[in-house]
């Protein structure tokens, strides 16, 4: 599934119910072994330190706490793109 797409940026909610963001990140990394893994930004409703540390350990670009403004999201997305490219 992920082999067919090549996103420039991925935005995920950490608290997805069917498949978690950590699993999606692992799938992305596994499917991009021969090319750059896109930057991944996650949103979290209640970002606890342990969850943020786990996200960083997975190689996520940014963590955005909910609720967030459009300006804040834009800042995080811009930062993720700048560091990735």
Specify whether the CB–CB gap between 83 and 41 falls below 8 A.
no
**pLDDT of amino acid 15:** 84
pLDDT along the chain (85 residues), means of 10: 72 87 86 76 92 88 92 93 78
Here the CATH number for the domain that contains residue 67 is 3.40.50.2300
Domain assignment present for residue 32? The answer is: yes
**pLDDT of amino acid 73:** 94
The number of domains in the chain is 1
Specify whether the CB–CB gap between 65 and 44 falls below 8 A.
yes
Domain assignment present for residue 85? The answer is: no
Domain assignment present for residue 26? The answer is: yes
């Amino acid at each position: 599934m992920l082999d067919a797409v090549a996103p420039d940026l991925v935005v995920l909610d950490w608290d997805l119910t069917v498949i978690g963001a950590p699993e999606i990140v692992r799938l992305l990394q596994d499917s991009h072994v021969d090319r750059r893994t896109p930057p991944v930004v996650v949103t979290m409703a209640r970002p606890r330190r342990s969850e943020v540390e786990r996200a960083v350990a997975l190689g996520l670009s940014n963590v955005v706490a909910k609720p967030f403004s459009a300006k804040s999201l834009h800042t995080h997305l811009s930062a993720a793109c700048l560091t990735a490219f």
